[in-house]
Amino acid sequence: MSREINTVGVVGLGTMGAGIVEVFARSGISVVAVEVTEEALARGQATLVGSIDRAVAKGKMTPEQRDEIFARVGFAAGFGALHDVDLVIEAVPEQLPLKQRIFAELDQVCKPDAILATNTSSLSVTEISVATTRPNQVIGVHFFNPAPVMKLVEIVRTVVTAPEVVADVEALCARLGKTDVTINDRAGFIANALLFGYLNQAVSMLEARYATREDIDAAMRLGCGLPMGPLALMDLIGLDTAYEILDTMYRRGGRDRRHAPVPLIKQMVTAGLLGRKTGRGFYTYEGPGSPKVVPDELTAPPAPASLGDSAAIATIGVVGSGVMARGIVEVVARAGFDVVSVTRGEAQSSAVAEAVRGSLAKAVVKGKLTEEEQGAALGRVTWSNRLEDLDDADLVIESVVEEISAKKAVFAALDEICKPGVVLATTTSSLPVIEIAMATQRPADVIGLHFFNPAPVMKLVEIVRTIRTSPETAGAAAALVAALGKNGVQCADRSGFIVNALLFPYLNDAVRMLEASYATVDDIDYAMKFGCGYPMGPFELLDTVGLDVALAIQRELYLELREPGFAPAPLLEHLVTAGYVGRKAGRGFRDHTQ
């Protein structure tokens, strides 16, 4: 049976430390909040007071509750005040020598049975523990920022942490109302090991000028439903902190290049561009600590209107009969364009028509569309099973099966049928657009328009230009996307574009983590949902997308980049071979048959 912890000490009262103090005090636990100097103590106290006062101002806490919380917190300069606490949590900067020095002092000050915990997000808990004479009582307790809001705590045990210490901390987290995952001591633990490879890759995209910072962030927010884009999140975390975490994981985690800090990060740290806390990082802020972004010299000017004019586009062809093609037909028709929907036969054409009518009817029931608008949208659609009916279209969107030979065949036919100057767009999510374009005699007119599923709901479209795409074609495509009410993000023709190139390596990393038996499917999903605010955990998402789809995209990324870290996880390949491909098969990483 775990013992009850009644008094907790917190060392370090920066943003994280002050948040941890608040978490314990709100839960009715007495806290001794410690800093090394009176000045640092005053700053930490001001941080805590500010957070609590904001909660009162927002009506989330009464003045009486605020007074009760403050009554539970004692502030002290120096470690001597921690002599009688049951547990101490250290929350100082991510520097191993500093943490080891603090733990050596805590070992001398704290009572013999006190638990010594570190809030480190990436350093070795084992290396910290050996600075004490009680390594069996040292444990990692990794809260996430902001600690009062985020539900996850990673409990990190070393090879010598006593089982009863783990049990005591697990029980404590339950009292705090947190979701905990208990794992072994490994670089980055769960959340940071998965998160920072993704963040690092996003910076690499920016460094290579593959896409703008705004488009990278918008792509991941709108395409994946993430609470923040990767570059904005780096600014929030702090580029210096991010660099230290990446460097630690690279050195301790097998020197995987996905964790080797991109040179741009070190350059920005050296230049003092640390993110929100200094008022400038990837974005410029109103002032140090402010979340408000202000224009700067990198702010992209609006595209000149002369580059594209959707008014010149009256009729749009959509080729394909799958879910994506059906969604695009609906989106285009609802936006006021005439549509020619082309499929391979009468049966497919009827299926697309039925699906579009059903979707529009649902929109009417939900109040998102009037019956008049429904009728007008359907009246704009012509159903056909002949590509020749696209001879008068102003723009054609291809959405056939994701196979290069099938797409090239469609584009070769369109090249013969469509009038000169017509924009030919492919909805491919992973294939090289240039290879599709070169199946025509007009590669300057070919562009990628990657819609996301379901197309009527998702607001993002990736506009993918090849090295042969003309400015006029890119401008017309961007104008069309805006006319459809979508957010267009522009990028060059590279495997995975923005979203898939960042998303699927992260999912592959999660499979590798499971493959290594480091954590369970549930723990990894909990870590990313409750620790990072993701709408779905990686395995939930893989089962939804389809393991076969994920494997195909990851193979394309690996073939193009040839980086070992992008090689598909063997476990993913084995599951797909065995037919475990996710929800559509009833079984993936979880059983969906029940």
pLDDT tens for each residue of the chain, 594 residues long? 568 899 999 999 988 999 999 999 999 999 999 998 899 999 989 988 888 888 888 888 888 988 999 999 999 999 999 999 999 999 998 889 999 999 999 999 999 999 999 999 889 999 999 999 999 999 999 999 889 989 999 999 999 999 999 999 999 999 999 999 999 998 889 999 999 999 999 999 999 999 999 999 999 999 999 999 999 999 999 999 999 999 988 988 777 888 999 999 999 999 999 999 999 999 999 999 888 999 887 775 544 434 455 557 899 999 999 999 999 999 999 999 999 999 998 999 999 999 999 999 999 999 999 999 999 999 999 999 999 999 999 999 999 999 999 999 999 999 999 999 999 999 998 889 999 999 999 999 999 999 999 999 999 999 999 999 999 999 999 999 999 999 999 999 998 899 999 999 999 999 999 999 999 999 999 999 999 989 999 999 999 999 999 999 999 899 988 888 889 999 999 999 999 999 988 999 998 876
Tokens standing for residue 329: 């037909």
- Burial classification of residue 562, based on how many CB atoms lie within 10 Å of its CB (0-12 exposed, 13-18 middle, 19 or more buried): exposed
Contact at 8 Å (CB) between 466 and 400?
no
Question: Which one is catalytic: 90, 142, 244, 450?
Answer: 142
- CATH number of the domain within which 557 lies: 1.10.1040.10
Residues 6+ apart with CB under 8 A from 63: 56
Pairing of strands 315-319, 395-398: parallel
* Residue 310 designated active-site: no
Sheet strands side by side (includes 395-398): 381-384, 338-342, 315-319, 395-398, 423-426, 446-451, 460-465, 487-492
Could you tell me if 568 and 546 lie in one domain?
yes
- Are residues 474 and 382 located together in one domain of the fold? yes
Give the three-class secondary structure for 579: coil
Is residue 592 one of the residues assigned to a domain? no
Asked whether residue 233 is assigned to any structural domain, the reply reads yes
Identify whether 591 is part of a domain: no
Structural domain including 523 reads: 504-585
* Same-domain pairing of 68 and 177: yes
Among residues 119, 122, 192, 430, which one is catalytic?
A: 192
Q: Rounded distance, CA 283 to CA 292, Å?
A: 10
The answer to whether the beta carbons of residues 478 and 488 sit under 8 Å apart is yes
Q: Which two tokens stand for residue 221?
A: 């927010």
**CATH for 60:** 3.40.50.720
Kindly state whether residues 277 and 244 are assigned to the same domain. yes
Q: Which amino acid is at 88?
A: V
Task: For the beta carbon of residue 420, count every other beta carbon within 10 angstroms.
Answer: 6
Is position 574 annotated as part of the catalytic site? Answer: no
Same domain, 415 and 483: yes
State the DSSP code for 311.
G
* Residue 160 CB contacts under 8 Å (≥ 6 apart), including other chains: 126, 129, 135, 136
Task: Classify residue 299: in a domain, yes or no.
Answer: no
Q: Nearest 5°: phi and psi at 85? A: -80, 155
Domain boundary among 457, 492, 527: 492
Spatial neighbors of 516 by CB under 8 A, at least 6 apart, are none
Q: Do 40 and 171 share a structural domain?
A: yes
138 class by beta-carbon count within 10 Å (0-12 exposed, 13-18 middle, 19+ buried): buried
- Long-range Cβ contacts of 556-563 (<8 Å, 24+ apart): 556/430, 556/431, 556/495, 556/496, 557/430, 557/495, 557/496, 557/500, 557/501, 557/504, 557/505, 559/495, 560/494, 560/495, 561/495, 563/257, 563/258
Has residue 334 been placed in a domain? yes
Residue 122's SS3 state is coil
Q: Which of 119, 121, 321, 430 is catalytic?
A: 121
pLDDT tens by residue, 449-484: 999 999 999 999 999 999 999 999 999 999 999 999
| The last residue of a domain, from among 467, 492, 517 | 492
Kind and range of the H or E run holding 223: helix 213-224
Residue 498 lies in a domain: no
121 is catalytic: yes
8 A C-beta contact, residue 450 and residue 461: yes
Q: Do 27 and 112 reside in the same domain of the chain?
A: yes
Secondary structure letter of residue 275 according to DSSP: B
Three-state SS across 182-211? Answer: EEECCCCCCHHHHHHHHHHHHHHHHHCCCC
Q: Is residue 68 part of a domain?
A: yes
Active-site residue, from 22, 90, 94, 154: 154
Distances in Å between the alpha carbon of 353 and those of 374, 390, 594? 13, 18, 32
- Indicate if 470 belongs to the active site: no
Please state the domain count of the chain.
Answer: 4
- Residue 289 located in a structural domain: yes
User: Could you tell me if 411 and 512 lie in one domain?
Assistant: no
How far is it, in rounded angstroms, from Cα 509 to Cα 499?
16
Does one domain contain both 165 and 71?
yes
289 and 318 within one domain:
no
CA angle centred on 208, ends 205 and 214, rounded to 5°: 50
One domain, residues 148 and 21 = yes
Q: Is 270:443 a contact under the CB 8 Å cutoff?
A: no
Q: Answer yes or no: do 471 and 554 share one domain.
A: no
Among residues 155, 184, 213, the one where a domain terminates is 184
